[in-house]
């Protein structure tokens, strides 16, 4: 699945001032890793965001938000946000800030290296 270059550019613009950001292609989209942790991404034309699992149920009640479904299983704390729910810059920034605020508490996606 291709991802929206327009959304990817909006994400790049937002994360341009954030340290330790890395772009990775995954889930058929483009993921932005912060401190080696999955933070947000562009999957198709939707925003994927990793938010605090404690805020997950409340987030699902917001316009255009659905759970991220990977391999038929919903992943608590991971959401997709529809394009019409992030077309305004303030709406996109809301979800990006939610993901970035949770990032320090999130588990790292990087596997620890073995010491020899």
Residue 35 has pLDDT above 70, yes or no: yes
CA angle at 66 for the pair 62 and 68, rounded to the nearest 5°: 140
**Quick check: helix, strand or coil at residue 76?**
strand
Distance between CA atoms of residues 83 and 55, nearest Å? 21
pLDDT, tens digit, 9 for 90 and up, residues 47-80? 999 999 999 999 999 999 999 986 777 788 999 9
Output the pTM of the full model: 0.88
């Amino acid at each position: 699945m291709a991802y929206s270059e327009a959304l990817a550019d909006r994400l790049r613009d937002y994360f341009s001032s954030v340290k330790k950001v890395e772009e990775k292609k995954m889930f058929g989209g483009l993921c932005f890793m912060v401190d080696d942790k999955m933070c947000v991404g562009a999957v198709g034309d939707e925003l994927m965001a990793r938010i605090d699992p404690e805020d997950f149920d409340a987030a699902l009640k917001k316009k255009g938000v659905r759970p991220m479904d990977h391999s038929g299983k919903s992943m608590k704390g991971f959401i997709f946000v529809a394009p019409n729910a992030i077309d305004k810059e303030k709406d996109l920034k809301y979800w990006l800030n939610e993901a970035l605020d949770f990032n320090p508490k999130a588990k790292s996606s990087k596997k620890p290296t073995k010491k020899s």
